[in-house]
Amino acid sequence: MTIETNAKGKVTGVVYVDADGKQQRQKARVIAVAANSIEPPRLLLNSANSAFPDGLATVRGKSDGITCAT
């Protein structure tokens, strides 16, 4: 699962795997990440792209102030 962004760094959608194991893409203007304490950093790091080669919300490949509420 990844969060997609455009060249300006704005969220454009998400890619996820459905119940049948097929990869799906959902366009979105806003994304709320609601998961346990491990998943948000993993999701953001997995969302690397040409604009964010180390993943989203990172500094040199490390999560940068990601706040998780449980």
pLDDT (tens place) for every residue of the chain, 70 residues total: 888 988 888 889 999 999 999 999 999 988 887 767 777 787 888 888 888 888 876 655 555 444 444 4
pTM of the model: 0.61
Q: What are phi and psi of 42, to 5 degrees?
A: -65, -45
Residue 16 pLDDT: 92
**In sequence order, what are the beta bridge partners of 25?**
15
Cα angle, residue 43 at apex, residues 8 and 13 outer, rounded to 5°: 45
Instruction: Tell me which residue has tokens 């998780």.
Output: 68
Residue 67 pLDDT: 47
Q: What are phi and psi of 14, to 5 degrees?
A: -130, 155
